[in-house]
Amino acid sequence: MADVYNETVLIEKAKSGDEASFELLIQNCKTKAYNTALRYLRDEEDAMDALQESLIKVFRHLDKFKGDSKFDTWVYRIVVNTCNDFLRKDKNQRTNVSFYRMNEDGETMLEIPDTAPTPPEVFDAKLTTSCVMGCLNEIPKEQKEIIILRDIQGFSYEEIGQILNCSMGTVKSRINRARQKLKQSILEQYDRSCV
């Protein structure tokens, strides 16, 4: 209760342009926000830039925060949006060779041959953190962000719904699909390395 009171007081002070209050306000969510940005962008500099831009946006538009969600959740939402903007800009600059194609429904599909069930030991061998992170970068953006938020950062379904502005049912269906895609991506990575 006291924290909520403090948070309200700090928000009010920060709204009037008090930087110190704002720094105190974001103290608890800053690291998590940075890690989220880092998982999205996979680059320390880009992550710092995105975080700084996000927090400045938060500071500037603090009067738009109505208290519908937790303040931290609102900050993460802005961080995610900023990271998506960064990725969009980055996409225009770089030419990525994707092995996804769009199906008739507009969904992105992996163009991989139907493979036989992978032996557990093979999967274990390839299942390292760096491999997973690499594969995570290969799956569609919507699926990647939901895995980052749920499985890496540990947000609840409700929080993810607020961050991504969608219902909890959508979050649950998306997370299952995203996990399957990630797994397939890891297997595909393995197949390519074998070839």
Partner 1 sequence: MDKQIDLDNRAVDIEKDDTQDKDMEKLLAILHDTPEVEIPAGFDQRFSQALKAEGSKIREEKRMAAANKKRKWYLKVAATAAACFVVVFASVSMYNDDIGPDSGRIASEESAETQMSLSGDMFNDATEEGASKDAVISTEGIQEKEDLNLSAEQATIALGRVDAEYRGESDGNGQDTGQAEIYYGMQSSEVDTLCREGSKYAEATEEYWAYRRLVDEYLTGYEFTVTDCQRDKDTGSYLFEVHIVMDPEGQIVDESLILRGEQGEIHESENSTEGDEPQTGSD
* Binding positions for partner 1, rule: CB under 8 A: 16-19, 22-23, 30-32, 34-35, 38-39, 44, 48, 51-52, 55-56, 59-60, 117-118, 120, 123-124, 127-129, 132-133, 147, 151-152, 154, 179, 182-183, 186
Distance of CA 114 to the CA centre of its chain: 29
Judged by CB, which is closer to partner 1: 39, or 174?
39
Which DSSP symbol is given to 100?
E
Task: Give the nearest distance from C-beta 34 to partner 1 in angstroms.
Answer: 5
Residue 113 or 120 with smaller CB distance to partner 1? 120
Cβ 165 to partner 1, closest distance in Å?
23
Is residue 47 classed exposed, middle or buried when 0-12, 13-18 and 19+ CB atoms within 10 A define those classes? Answer: buried
**In the structure encoding, which two tokens stand for residue 106, read together?**
């507009």
Q: Which own/partner pairs from 151-160 qualify as long-range (CB within 8 Å, at least 24 positions apart)? A: 151/175, 151/179, 152/35, 152/39, 153/32, 153/35, 153/36, 153/39, 155/76, 159/70, 159/73, 159/76
Nearest to 108, CA basis, from 116, 118, 96: 96
Least CB distance from residue 71 to partner 1, whole Å? 17
Minimum separation from the CB atom of position 110 to partner 1 (A): 16
- Taking the complex as a whole, the smallest distance from the CB of residue 2 to partner 1 amounts, in Å, to 25
Q: Residue 132 or 171: which CB sits closer to partner 1?
A: 132
Three-class SS state of 102: strand
* R_g of the chain computed on alpha carbons: 19
**Quick one: 33 or 163, whose CB is closer to partner 1?**
33
Q: Please say which residue, 129 or 193, places its beta carbon nearer to partner 1.
A: 129
